[in-house]
Chain A
Amino acid sequence: MSGTAIDVERLAAAARRRKARDRFFTYLALTLGVIVFALPIWITLVGSTHDTDTIGRGDVPLLPGTEALNNYAHAWAQGGGGRNTFAVPASTMLWNSLIMALVIAVGKIAISLLSAFAVVFFSFPLRMFFFWMIFITLMLPVEVRIIPTFQVMTDLSLIDTMTGLTLPLIASATATLLFRQFFLTIPDEYVEAAKVDGAGPMRFFKDVVLPLSVTSMAALFVIQFIYGWNQYLWPLLMVSDRDLETVIVGLTKMIGIGDTQNEWNLIMTTAVFALLPPVAVVVLMQRWFIKGLTETEK
């Protein structure tokens, strides 16, 4: 009988060992994943704390240097980096990106709330036609209609204006779909009650629909803020006036063709500036972010 007891013990010990090994492998894999994700950021952060020569020589520093304050102050107030471009201060570019992202996010939420409200709570001729018209814009990203859209913008003299930069990106099928889906879950009794109390549709919108939509609006805001901040092709086409430069396009202009003589430390400093706002939004509003992401794709 003692033989089986030993067997059981040995088996249990083997299972424990296997479990420990699996656990170790899991942590190792995740940590490697995190490192691959973080390596480019680390290199950029470290680079932004050294002087131009250190990076230009190709020393590739792995630990922070002492020039952080200088670099950040210089990039913020004067800009720099590329050899062949006029410097635009990072503060100007960040301001433009911030305005652009905020106008796009708030604008998209506002007009999508209104149109979803109309489609769900009213009955009128051509309702479904209009709904499909909005839906189809999903299939027409800027990238596939570059030249004609540019011509429309020229005709409306919207080139080099903040309006031109933001207005065309405000139409949003995804936001309208999301709000529509959410409005359909609002119980009919609420509408009945509002009608009994003599409240009109806009009163109902303001006092019932808006307060109920706060969560959806927060989730959408995170997604759309990042969408607006990260625009690339559109500002590249629309803006030649450097006072309107956004930070992502401005950054790649600083790099040009990747000349070794660039002031790489200032470029890396600007990259950190460009990175911080959207990453902060995702990390600080993580719960809304995941909700927004999984729901807009439904």
Chain B
Amino acid sequence: MRKKVIFRGVALPYLLLLPQLLITAVFFFWPAGMAVWQSTQREDAFGLSSEFVALENFTDLFRDPIYLNAAWNTAVFSTAVAALALGAALFLAVQADKQIRAAGLYKTLLIWPYAVAPALAAVLWLFIFHPSIGLVGRGFAAIGINWDYRVNGGQAMTMVIIAAAWKQVSYNFIFFLAGLQSIPTSVLEAAAIDGARPMRRFWTVIFPLLSPTAFFLLVVNLVYAFFDTFGVIHALTRGGPGNATETLIYKVYVDGVQNLNFGSSAAQSVILMVIVIGLTAIQFRFIERRVHY
């Protein structure tokens, strides 16, 4: 789409673009290029010299059980977060869409967690699940469950999933509710007159109409679980116990910032870039098919 009437100007449009382009070049393209370059280098133990190793950093990663473990953790974590956050949000949105009193109040009470930072969401759930000061943590102990997410890997994973999903429900809720409200009432009335039961009506009429929204949200939730949950893991478990909650993003940080293994960390960054590019491409391919609000 283009404007027919435009301004003339030789230097002005470039000047207007300059601030954005400068920041983009210096802080986005330059480091991304460096990441690609560093991913082909290996430094010696003292960081004094580096040599070109082509794709060796990558092949090493795919043989490294700790890296494969992080990839598996990421798969489990993202699937669980997306499923939980989408399921809960869809259920609540369907309830809130019904003609009830105080719908606006419920809506407000359900959307505010969007404003909570992932790391802060983790802290709030820590107050609940902490084995010695938390309500649920102590409750578990009282009924004889051996609960301590600081030593039990499965419990740690459950906790980061709950904290990460909790924060994302509001976002999904807003989109599902908007999607539900854009379904014409005539369609729903027609289904009701045909005598379809509410559950059947939901799966055969409403859900198919919502599926573009659901698909869009699925991609957004996966991106969120992959890249925006660093704070949740850092605040709650630091990737532990052992490597039980170490995800791909967390490992880039640990290898780069703590272990100072720049070549490997850069190779991991490059792999993650490929994943983001893939997810973003899918997201934009399907945008035209999305419902419009």
Q: Which residues of A contact B (CB under 8 A)?
A: 22-23, 26-27, 29-30, 33-34, 36-41, 43-44, 47, 55-56, 58, 60, 62, 110-112, 114-115, 117-124, 127, 130, 133-134, 137-141, 143-152, 156, 167-168, 170-171, 176, 184, 188, 191-192, 195, 200-202, 204, 226, 229-233, 236-237, 248-249, 251-252, 255, 257-258, 260, 264, 267-268, 271, 274-275, 278-279, 281-283, 286, 289-290, 293-294, 297-298
Report the minimum CB–CB distance from A274 to chain B (whole Å): 6
Q: Is the CB of B252 within 8 A of A171?
A: no
Q: Is the CB of A58 within 8 A of B133?
A: yes
A294: which B residues are within 8 A, CB to CB? Answer: 174-175, 178, 293
Report the minimum CB–CB distance from A188 to chain B (whole Å): 4
Residues from 214 to 260 in B contacting A, C-beta threshold 8 Å: 216, 220, 227-228, 230-231, 234-235, 238, 249, 252-253, 256-257
CA distance A114 to B14 in the complex (A): 10
CA distance A147 to B5 in the complex (A): 45
**What are 27 of the A-B contact pairs (CB < 8 Å)?**
A26-B98, A33-B95, A33-B106, A34-B110, A36-B166, A43-B128, A58-B133, A124-B14, A133-B29, A147-B265, A148-B38, A148-B266, A152-B30, A152-B31, A176-B20, A200-B7, A232-B230, A232-B234, A248-B231, A255-B123, A258-B130, A271-B123, A271-B124, A278-B117, A282-B112, A286-B108, A290-B178
Q: For A37, A202, A278, which residue has the most chain B Cβ atoms within 10 angstroms? A: A37
> Does B27 have its Cβ within 8 Å of any Cβ on chain A?
yes
B266: which A residues are within 8 A, CB to CB? Answer: 147-148
Given A145-B273, A232-B231, 7 additional A-B pairs, CB 8 A: A37-B166, A112-B20, A114-B20, A141-B227, A146-B252, A168-B26, A230-B118
B135: which A residues are within 8 A, CB to CB? Answer: 43, 60, 62
Known: A134-B24, A144-B273, A251-B123. A279 touches B115 (CB 8 A): yes
Q: Is the CB of A146 within 8 A of B21?
A: no
B238: which A residues are within 8 A, CB to CB? Answer: 257
Pick from A27, A110, A252: contact of B119, CB under 8 Å:
A252
CA distance A171 to B269 in the complex (A): 20
> Does B153 have its Cβ within 8 Å of any Cβ on chain A?
no
Known: A26-B98, A133-B24, A146-B257. A118 touches B17 (CB 8 A): yes
Q: Is the CB of A60 within 8 A of B133?
A: yes
Known: A232-B234, A248-B231. A147 touches B27 (CB 8 A): no
Q: Is the CB of A258 within 8 A of B126?
A: yes
> Does B180 have its Cβ within 8 Å of any Cβ on chain A?
no
A111: which B residues are within 8 A, CB to CB? Answer: 19-20, 23
Closest 3 pairs between A and B when the two form their complex, measured CB to CB: A230-B117, A148-B34, A148-B31
Q: Is the CB of A171 within 8 A of B276?
A: no
- When C-beta atoms are compared, the residue in chain A nearest to B113 turns out to be A37
CA distance A121 to B6 in the complex (A): 5
Q: Is the CB of B235 within 8 A of A255?
A: yes
B5: which A residues are within 8 A, CB to CB? Answer: 188, 191-192, 195
> Does B147 have its Cβ within 8 Å of any Cβ on chain A?
no
Task: Give the interface size class of chain B.
Answer: 35 or more
Known: A151-B34, A230-B117, A271-B123. A122 touches B13 (CB 8 A): yes
Q: Is the CB of B20 within 8 A of A143?
A: no
CA distance A274 to B31 in the complex (A): 31
Q: Is the CB of B127 within 8 A of A47?
A: yes
> Does B280 have its Cβ within 8 Å of any Cβ on chain A?
yes
B174: which A residues are within 8 A, CB to CB? Answer: 290, 293-294
Q: Is the CB of B115 within 8 A of A115?
A: no
Q: For A47, A121, A145, A204, which residue has the most chain B Cβ atoms within 10 angstroms? A: A145
Q: Is the CB of A144 within 8 A of B276?
A: yes
Q: Is the CB of A282 within 8 A of B16?
A: no
Q: For B20, B112, B280, which residue has the most chain A Cβ atoms within 10 angstroms? A: B20
Q: Is the CB of B98 within 8 A of A60?
A: no
Report the minimum CB–CB distance from B207 to chain A (whole Å): 18
Q: Is the CB of B112 within 8 A of A283?
A: yes
A139: which B residues are within 8 A, CB to CB? Answer: 273, 276-277, 280
Pick from B4, B28, B121, B262: contact of A137, CB under 8 Å:
B28
Residues from 264 to 293 in B contacting A, C-beta threshold 8 Å: 265-266, 269, 272-273, 276-277, 280, 287, 290, 293
Q: Is the CB of A248 within 8 A of B117?
A: yes
B91: which A residues are within 8 A, CB to CB? Answer: 29, 33
B150: which A residues are within 8 A, CB to CB? Answer: 257-258
Q: For A26, A60, A168, which residue has the most chain B Cβ atoms within 10 angstroms? A: A60
Q: Is the CB of A41 within 8 A of B124?
A: yes
Q: Is the CB of B16 within 8 A of A115?
A: yes
Q: For A47, A195, A275, which residue has the most chain B Cβ atoms within 10 angstroms? A: A275
Q: Is the CB of B234 within 8 A of A146?
A: no
CA distance A233 to B227 in the complex (A): 11
Pick from B7, B17, B23, B249: contact of A121, CB under 8 Å:
B7
Q: Is the CB of B35 within 8 A of A148?
A: yes
> Does B77 have its Cβ within 8 Å of any Cβ on chain A?
no
CA distance A297 to B217 in the complex (A): 10
- When C-beta atoms are compared, the residue in chain B nearest to A229 turns out to be B117
Report the minimum CB–CB distance from A244 to chain B (whole Å): 17
What 0/1 pattern do residues 171 to 189 of B give for CB contact below 8 A with A? Answer: 1001100100000000000
Known: A37-B109, A191-B5. A140 touches B273 (CB 8 A): yes
